[in-house]
Structure 1
């Protein structure tokens, strides 16, 4: 019999202005992904670490054997740091086979004498990261492919500080893959030896998240909120937290469906939110998270992408008196730049991937960081993107303003700042790394006839013109090249995007 649900109760004392410990990190440049190849039973297996761990199609690229190899490498890393006695949290999302992959990790951890704290159900990534910090564990293993389609799965290591593994940690773990044969024991034996405990951090996480917002203001607003967890792991979390904050809450897609009902569990694509959009009658606000709860998008009378949400939440925090810099990825809206300039905030631009945002949050250089893909993090919280807490801040921004629609908040924003329109597209490529090398050698003088004033090459190629900007970069998680553009004119943004997709196709054919 497994240990009864282990409960760690922590006193919630931190506030928005909680001090953040200073840590040293290597911020040098690095590749978006790397390859580790090994042979298992005569079959070659390639493990690719992208912007957020190793992901692949289940049964083809992503296998139990590969998961055990990665789990052994993580075990070796944890032991080399003298952290094995702290144990490792093991979480998983709602996908097919996720719990089986999690159990494979537990078997390897136990084989190495490391206690596993397994979540009692599929659990959002930010809650798993939160659990690792509260348990003072060596870190956490999370089985998830986040927003990717249902046939994908993935594994990532979350170090003890509760955020994405930084490049030096990832590189060390990659170097350990295949060096040691996985040592595994059965789940039953792990339990018998006291190396397995079930944990449930919903209550503690909820108390913490609610301590970071003005619950009284939210209760006074009585906002009517429709929640769409997209059949993912935030179901039961987001609804209950919003109800505790005083919202009137209903939900759709709130049962577990490993295939996500045929949807892609990515709230940043309006196609995934069609039912939410069609169900908004009688509601002020619609909120959606991705499959593992670290991304967010919203709906009022229209769709609000992360690029629309970021500047509104940042401005709200500034109006509450929060002070400090802001960090965004190279693909994220420049409306954040406008807010930063007007309020004298230092702006940091980093490559795509939340792990590039994390150091600025941990070292206290930025109070908020975000990506156009819907991940937002905060200095006073765990250094992990958190869709649930971001939903709370969206609700708080509306409640504090006395407004009920995001469109009204955006109208206020437009009185002081220039509204920019962002669009994006992608093409499939056979050789992403070769595409990247070819792209970086290219020089561009214009974008759809608009003169290039500056070129940024920290992640792909970003071309800045007087009318907006365009970015081309290979994805770190899928065989895609993503193209982004932004302009004060939606027509110009679309024109630049079309131009960028054509250039990407030309480069792909030449690789």
Structure 2
């Protein structure tokens, strides 16, 4: 049930008190015996709020020190690129990290203009530095909780491959950080911010390097020649200066719809649950841009660190992320002659099967992996994967010449690609998707939550196929029961069940006492509801038998 004010502009009572938030960052000391106050790396780093004692100075001191020790153990001796987004806790956490890094004599590169730095710009910088094959490899940190509410902070580590750290790295970093918290952080070396800048901290032009390189990944000439009118909404995030620079340097008809930056994000419309959340895939969070869609040929949104994208067209409004991924894949693999003829398409197991049908039509190989962009990193880095995308509106793809662009999600190039598609084909991405439904069918897709205890979630994460005794799903024979990803054999941390025209996947939530049911049917919404009901029964039966 949507909140009564979902899609309406935030009111004063919806805003976080920034002074309280920052004060809590410095004053509250986490209780490491409480799991909710420990350092925990999810698929996109450690996240939490200072108001909950889950993202405080102590966490960042300990986590940064753990990263220093990890990179030393791995022989990573090059510079560390660090960026931050516009969340209120990002600035103090960025400062704390610099003080610890400099005290440990780590060469650190920060933005030359003291600007906010999108996640893809950090990934791009790491890869650019390492492409020449230096003995001393670079890595990076991005201070961001992504699309999370304004009260949250986030801190993630990108190794020399430029993408999200895998669990082998994050488990070591998190364990060491929590050990340091237990021991007390008073022994960890720090210098003042002034000493850091006088020492091992140097400047790097993240914006210029990234923006000037864009013609090598997106056909900006085609966009300019077609006169595509673009409206870009950073949603108050780190891409705000980037969109201005893209418009100016590449002479595009591009308007930054909302150039405001405010740690309360008071200009946002409330998300479905009534919270402020910079989710560019949410119709409620994107309500303002959707209302203005007739002003532009293509309107786009990004979340706070610009690793996600939202695409709005005059004819279709806000596109479902799965729909746009399918359109992007079809376009790229028919308009990138410089890519390897064997380059594959990467999707997560909870992404739409429309992608499977599009990829089959292209005659390309599909790489289906568990949730998490980290699974696409090796393929993108090697050029074996032309595109990798998640249903949560995060994706990246190769340069025109088939080399890697970023190994982290890039909401900026996915936003620009929508304009390229419009310029080159004469159709908007939503119109292109309409052509797909006529050819491949029109799937109905949804995600719902079901209650589960911590113990039940642990069981779900380790189910075996033989615990699923059903032979049918919503009236169709089950064709596969998966606990490992077909693309790489990695554990799903849950379950996926497929039929000829439908599927569901169940995964435990990492933060709530629920499990998530993703489901899709090519037989319409009523059949989708049957699939969801059957999924609940099937999972409940498996949990009870365990």
Instruction: Give the TM bin, normalised by the shorter chain.
Output: 0.7 to 0.9
What is the distance in 2 between the residues matched to 1:182 and 1:200? 30
CA drift at 1:475: 3.5
What is the distance in 1 between the residues matched to 2:153 and 2:535? 30
Tell me if the contact between 1:329 and 1:357 (Cα under 8 Å) persists in the aligned partners.
no
Report the more deviating stretch, 48-57 or 477-486. 477-486
Counterpart for residue 360 of structure 1: 379
Q: CA RMSD in A?
A: 2.7
2:517 corresponds to which of 477, 480, 483: 483
1:416/1:187 CA distance change after superposition, 3 Å: same
1:272/1:504 CA distance change after superposition, 3 Å: farther
Q: Deviations over 1:450-474 (max 9, x none)?
A: 4433111132111112331111112
What is the distance in 1 between the residues matched to 2:382 and 2:396? 13
Report the more deviating stretch, 65-74 or 474-483. 474-483
1:482/1:206 CA distance change after superposition, 3 Å: same
Counterpart for residue 423 of structure 1: 446
Report the more deviating stretch, 109-118 or 247-256. 247-256
Q: Deviations over 1:183-240 (max 9, x none)?
A: 2111122223x21224331111011112222222111221122222211111231354
Q: Does 1:497 align with 2:532?
A: yes
Task: Look up the SS of the partner of 1:357 in the other structure.
Answer: helix
Tell me if the contact between 1:52 and 1:477 (Cα under 8 Å) persists in the aligned partners.
no
Counterpart for residue 201 of structure 2: 196
Q: Does 1:280 align with 2:281?
A: no
| Structure 1 unaligned residues grouped into runs of 5+ | 1-38
Counterpart for residue 95 of structure 2: 103
What is the distance in 2 between the residues matched to 1:336 and 1:42? 43
Report the more deviating stretch, 53-62 or 128-137. 128-137
CA drift at 1:246: 4.8
Counterpart for residue 226 of structure 1: 231
Report the more deviating stretch, 406-415 or 456-465. 406-415
Counterpart for residue 53 of structure 1: 45
Tell me if the contact between 2:460 and 2:507 (Cα under 8 Å) persists in the aligned partners.
no
Superposition pairs of residues 143-222 of structure 1, within 5 angstroms: 143-178=143-178, 181-192=187-198, 194-222=199-227
What is the distance in 2 between the residues matched to 1:417 and 1:365? 26
Tell me if the contact between 1:329 and 1:370 (Cα under 8 Å) persists in the aligned partners.
yes
Tell me if the contact between 2:117 and 2:206 (Cα under 8 Å) persists in the aligned partners.
no
What is the distance in 1 between the residues matched to 2:152 and 2:239? 19
Tell me if the contact between 1:73 and 1:178 (Cα under 8 Å) persists in the aligned partners.
no
Tell me if the contact between 2:83 and 2:110 (Cα under 8 Å) persists in the aligned partners.
yes
1:89/1:225 CA distance change after superposition, 3 Å: same
Q: Does 1:132 align with 2:126?
A: yes
Report the more deviating stretch, 332-341 or 166-175. 166-175
Report the more deviating stretch, 384-393 or 410-419. 410-419
CA drift at 1:313: 1.0
Q: Does 1:241 align with 2:246?
A: yes
Q: Does 1:313 align with 2:328?
A: yes
1:497/1:148 CA distance change after superposition, 3 Å: farther
What is the distance in 2 between the residues matched to 1:478 and 1:75? 31
Tell me if the contact between 2:289 and 2:299 (Cα under 8 Å) persists in the aligned partners.
yes
Q: Deviations over 1:104-134 (max 9, x none)?
A: 1111111111122223222111112222333
Superposition pairs of residues 242-257 of structure 1, within 5 angstroms: 242=247, 244-257=249-262
What is the distance in 1 between the residues matched to 2:456 and 2:127? 39
What is the distance in 2 between the residues matched to 1:41 and 1:408? 53
Counterpart for residue 115 of structure 2: 121
1:318/1:344 CA distance change after superposition, 3 Å: same
TM-score (normalizing by structure 1): 0.84
| Structure 2 unaligned residues grouped into runs of 5+ | 1-28, 131-136, 181-186, 271-275, 399-403, 485-491
Task: Look up the SS of the partner of 1:236 in the other structure.
Answer: helix
Tell me if the contact between 1:325 and 1:367 (Cα under 8 Å) persists in the aligned partners.
yes
CA drift at 1:422: 1.9
Superposition pairs of residues 292-311 of structure 1, within 5 angstroms: 292-300=305-313, 301-302=315-316, 303-311=318-326
What is the distance in 2 between the residues matched to 1:341 and 1:40? 51
What is the distance in 2 between the residues matched to 1:242 and 1:510? 59
What is the distance in 2 between the residues matched to 1:429 and 1:153? 27
Aligned residue-pair number: 469
Report the more deviating stretch, 343-352 or 244-253. 244-253
Q: Deviations over 1:45-74 (max 9, x none)?
A: 422111121112233212110111110011
Counterpart for residue 406 of structure 2: 382
Counterpart for residue 474 of structure 1: 508
Counterpart for residue 402 of structure 1: 426
TM-score (normalizing by structure 2): 0.79
Tell me if the contact between 1:429 and 1:479 (Cα under 8 Å) persists in the aligned partners.
yes
Q: Does 1:443 align with 2:449?
A: no
1:501/1:244 CA distance change after superposition, 3 Å: farther
Q: Deviations over 1:320-377 (max 9, x none)?
A: 1343111111111112211221222111111100001212222332111110011112
What is the distance in 2 between the residues matched to 1:502 and 1:340? 32
1:393/1:335 CA distance change after superposition, 3 Å: same
Counterpart for residue 265 of structure 2: 260
Q: Deviations over 1:292-324 (max 9, x none)?
A: 100112111222122011111111112113431
CA drift at 1:477: 6.1
Tell me if the contact between 1:340 and 1:347 (Cα under 8 Å) persists in the aligned partners.
yes
Tell me if the contact between 1:51 and 1:477 (Cα under 8 Å) persists in the aligned partners.
no
Counterpart for residue 35 of structure 1: none
Counterpart for residue 391 of structure 2: 372
CA drift at 1:444: 5.6
Counterpart for residue 141 of structure 2: 141
1:425/1:271 CA distance change after superposition, 3 Å: farther
